[in-house]
Amino acid sequence: MTLYGAVLGRNSVHCTQIDARGCRMEARLLVEYDRIGDILYLGTVSPYPEQESEELDYGVVARLNPQSGEIENLEILFFSSRVASGKALQLPVLAEFHLPERV
C-alpha cells in the first residue's frame, strides 16, 4: 500500500507517501528565477492566489497552503546580491531530496 502527497512543511519537509521502503518525497521541485525582480522561486506547485504569505526571514517569503498551512513555495528576494558574496545561502527551512523512483 502506498499513500501519496509530499509537501514542504512550515519548517521541514513533511512526507505523506509511505511504502515498504519508507518515506519518500514525490513532489518535483520547481525552480524559477525572475531576473527583473531578482527573485528566486522554489516550490512544489505553481503559485495560486489563495495561498497565504509569511516572511520567514528577511527577504525569504513562504507561500502557504490555505487549508493545511504547509509551505508550497518559497520566494527568495534579492537573490543575486545574496549569492554574489560567494557564501552559501542558508534558508530557514529543512529539506530532504531524493531521486525519482526508476520505472
Q: What is the mean pLDDT of residues 76-80?
A: 96
**CB burial of residue 45 (10 Å; 0-12, 13-18, 19+):** middle
Under the banding of pLDDT at 50, 70 and 90, the label for residue 103 is low
Q: What is the mean pLDDT of residues 33-57?
A: 95
pLDDT value of position 14: 44
Which residues have CB under 8 Å from 57's CB, separation 6+? 91, 92
Residues 15-35: pLDDT tens digits? Answer: 444 444 344 446 788 999 999
Pairwise pLDDT comparison (8 vs 70), residue with the higher score: 70
Nearest-10 Cα torsion for 20, 21, 27, 29: 180
